[in-house]
Amino acid sequence: MSPAVAEAHNYTAWIVDTFRPFVGQDLLEIGTGFGNYRRHFPQTRTYTSVDIDAVAVAAASAADPSGRYLCADVSAPEFDAIAGLDKYDTVLCANVLEHIPDHRSALKNMVAALTASGHLLLFVPAHQALFGTMDTLAGHLRRYSLNALAELVTECGGRVIHARYFNPIGGIGWWVNRKRPYASLDDAGLNRQIRLFDRYAIPLSRALDPLTRGFFGQSLVLVARK
């Protein structure tokens, strides 16, 4: 992930606003990362976050003693024993599923961790045609189509109630950059693009989003019930 993404507050707020109506009292976050999402959900009764990166887990735990941070692989058979079954009314997985080799097992574990009326909130990169250098550098194994993701979630026990593409301007930007020979995601030019996009392009992309959400966007938003 580019370091500038951690500073992309307008972008993160847009994602959070999209999911907020479905967020309950007990939230399980898959993928701690930079801890971008924790501060956006102060209303939750409990907050648990899991990540396979022990360093990220330790840093987040030190920064947020009120949260519960665990080192675990969401696709592993023993995940339920670590995170606890039927405990969470919300499972949030944002920009993580595309990194997981066995995404089917991961989704089954996420659905299993939900209460009977809980919501699974997924945010993933969209359109395999956009796959390029930045995906490879970020460790993405795939990008998703709306139909393929909805079918996968359904096969894993979820009932899709909302699914759409997200962020059309970001999708265009990703397409333009997809073949550029970046050496790393910490490229100065790339970080500058992200900062400019977050400041100036997010309002335009949000305005266009209702017109394009049925067929195009940088990412996909999906909400499912157990």
Q: Identify the pLDDT of residue 72.
A: 93
Scan for tokens 């909805």, then name that residue: 150
Determine phi and psi for 18, rounding to 5 degrees: -65, -40
* 8 Å CB contact between 114 and 88: yes
Q: How many CB atoms lie within 10 A of CB 208?
A: 15
Closest of 175, 221, 186, 170 to residue 17, by C-alpha: 221
Can you give the pLDDT at residue 184?
Answer: 79
| Angle in degrees, 0-180, between the axes of helices 146-155 and 103-112, rounded to the nearest 10 | 60
The per-residue pLDDT for 3 is 55
Per-residue pLDDT for the chain (226 aa), expressed as one digit of tens each? 555 566 678 999 999 999 999 999 999 999 998 776 888 888 899 999 999 999 999 999 998 888 899 999 999 999 988 777 668 999 999 999 999 999 999 999 999 999 998 999 999 999 999 999 999 999 999 999 999 999 999 999 999 999 999 999 999 999 999 988 887 777 787 778 889 999 999 999 999 999 999 999 999 999 999 8
Number of neighbours of residue 78 by Cβ within 10 angstroms: 10
- Per DSSP bridges, beta strands 46-51 and 68-71 are parallel
Q: What is the pLDDT of residue 225?
A: 97
Name 170's Cβ contacts closer than 8 Å, sequence gap at least 6.
197, 201, 205, 217, 218, 219
Phi first, then psi: what are they for 164, rounded to 5°?
-165, 160
Q: Which domains does the chain have, with CATH numbers?
A: 3-225 (3.40.50.150)
Total number of residues shown for the chain: 226
DSSP assignment of 181-224 equals: --S-TT-HHHHHHHHHIIIIIHHHHHHHHHHHTTT--SEEEEEE
**Amino acid, single-letter form, for residue 223:** V
Q: How many angstroms separate the CA atoms of 60 and 99, rounded? A: 20
pLDDT of 4 reads: 55
Which residue in the block uniquely carries the two structure tokens 């073949």? 179
Residue 53 per-residue DSSP state: -
Cα 165 to Cα 122: distance, rounded to the nearest angstrom? 12
- Count CB-CB contacts under 10 A for residue 104: 13
From residue 78, give the alpha-carbon distance in Å to each of 2, 34, 89, 171, 180: 31, 25, 20, 36, 40
Residue 80: which of 113, 108, 54 has the closest Cα? Answer: 113
